[in-house]
Amino acid sequence: MRTLQHLDDNELLALLKAGDRNAFTQLYGRYSALLYVYAFKLLGDTDSAKDMVQEIFIAVWDKRDSTDYHISFASYLYTSVRFKFLKAIAHQKVKAVHAENFLSLFDEKTHSTEAYITEKELVAKVESLVAELPPQMARVFMLSRLQHLSNQEVADKLQLSEKTVRNLLSKATAILKPKIGAGVLLLLLHI
């Protein structure tokens, strides 16, 4: 009897399509490190590269019954990384345009009374929404985004791990983004 590691990709994909978790694990083991290196070369960031590889393999598992690989599985994976990279670049360009438009509202040349009032209202809105966050999350957000401390500085100050600080910031951003709007959040996050 042949073990899974001796099966080729097409045989593993057939098992995967039937819901075999071990086949998925075998495919992940074959390609995750290679994809990570490729994603890292494109992104230049270890966390982003790891996240991208995880997202791709999550999609492979989630769409296992509906995806037919007309090209080799390796080609599909590398194409997925390129697609996600290009999509991320496009998304960054859109965010940059929104941030630029938002910042131009407060440009010194156009800093009218109306803009000043709008700015004060936005600051008050942000402060009130941050106050609604759980206390620890609000403290982390205020120190990081409004006092511009690094994640490590926030962790040291609040006696938390840096990972906890990152998780709290991520959750705070997810809560605040739909309430504040992308433009204000982009300004706060310095994106």
- What pLDDT, in 10s, does the model give residues 140-191? 888 887 677 888 999 999 999 999 999 998 898 788 777 766 555 555 554 3
Cα-Cα-Cα-Cα dihedral sign, residues 138, 140, 142, 145: negative
Res 54 pLDDT > 90: yes
Domain parsing of the chain, residue ranges? 4-90, 106-189
What's the pLDDT tens digit per position in 33-53? Answer: 988 988 888 888 899 889 999
pLDDT tens string 115-134: 556 666 666 777 777 888 89
For the segment(s) 106-189, the CATH number from 3.40.50.1970, 3.30.420.40, 1.10.10.10, 1.10.3720.10 is 1.10.10.10
**Contacts for 158 with CB less than 8 Å, ≥ 6 apart:** 136, 139, 140, 143, 165
State which CATH number among 1.10.1740.10, 3.20.20.120, 3.30.450.30, 3.90.1300.10 fits the domain covering 4-90.
1.10.1740.10
CA 137 to CA 133: how far, in whole Å? 6
Q: Which of 14-28, 88-102, 142-156, 171-185 has the highest mean pLDDT?
A: 14-28
> Which amino acid does the sequence have at 31?
Y
**Cα–Cα distance between 141 and 163 in angstroms, integer?**
14
**Per-residue tokens: 67:** 């995806």
Q: Which residues contact 165 (CB under 8 A, 6 or more apart)?
A: 140, 144, 151, 154, 155, 158
- The DSSP call for residue 147 is S
**pLDDT score of 103 more than 80:** no
The percentage of residues in the chain with a pLDDT greater than 90, rounded to a whole number, is: 22
Higher pLDDT pick, 112 / 177: 177
Burial letters 5-26, b for 16+ CB under 10 A, else e:
eebebeebbebbeeebeebbeb
Q: What is the DSSP string of 7-37?
A: S-HHHHHHHHHTT-HHHHHHHHHHHHHHHHH
Residue among 147, 143, 142 nearest 131 (CA)? 142
pLDDT at position 191: 37
CA dihedral 33, 174, 169, 182 (to 10 degrees): 100
